[in-house]
Structure 1
Amino acid sequence: MSDNELELKKLYWQCRRGMLELDVLLSPFVQEVYPSLSLEDQASFKKLLTCEDQDLFGWFMQREEPGDADLKRIVKIILDRVQPS
């Protein structure tokens, strides 16, 4: 198994948060989109996974916005993927 495959498996497990609303956003994103992100956006996604579930939930439900610009960008990328134009 390559390093990239190991990284994706690790990220996939980190995406399993125990909150269905987060799981349905994060798990498919890491499998389908993460590999094509820039290195900066990949780093932002990894940073996002260190955040508390309640913060993530608020951001993805668009009740709040992250104060950090990198997190704000990756949240937007994830939401743009699932929201109609």
Structure 2
Amino acid sequence: MDLKRLRWATRRGMLELDLVLLPFLENVFPSLSDDHKVLFETLLTCEDQELFNWFLKKGNPEDPDMKIIVDIIRANTGLQPDN
């Protein structure tokens, strides 16, 4: 997916998600490995409420690959995972 489409896909129905996803896309995404970039693209297909809960640490994705990208996003947006 090209950057313009990714930018559009980060625009969600919840402002809170926009404030997490767009800065991540602009500031961190370019430095991700290709595998992590694919995980981010897959993450964008998830429901807003799931993303919101994951980013606020009210749960974690069941899929271990999704948990990897959620943890990367948390670590790079001030949403630190619990130790």
The verdict on a shared fold, with TM-score over 0.5 as the criterion, is yes
- Of 26, 35, 40, which aligns to 2:35? 40
Tell me the CA shift for residue 70 of structure 1.
1.1
- Gapped runs of 5+ residues in structure 2? none
User: CA separation in 2, counterparts of 1:72 and 1:49?
Assistant: 13
Give the number of equivalent residue pairs: 80
Distance 1:39 1:24, change over 3 A: same
User: CA separation in 1, counterparts of 2:45 and 2:79?
Assistant: 28
- Of 56, 63, 66, which aligns to 1:61? 56
Structure (1 or 2) with the larger CA radius of gyration: 1
Identity among equivalent pairs (%) = 50
Distance 1:48 1:84, change over 3 A: closer
More helix by share: 1
- SS of equivalent residue, structure 1 residue 28: helix
Tell me the CA shift for residue 83 of structure 1.
2.2
Q: In 2, are the aligned partners of 1:48 and 1:71 still within 8 Å (CA)?
A: yes
Distance 1:36 1:62, change over 3 A: same
- Gapped runs of 5+ residues in structure 1? 1-5
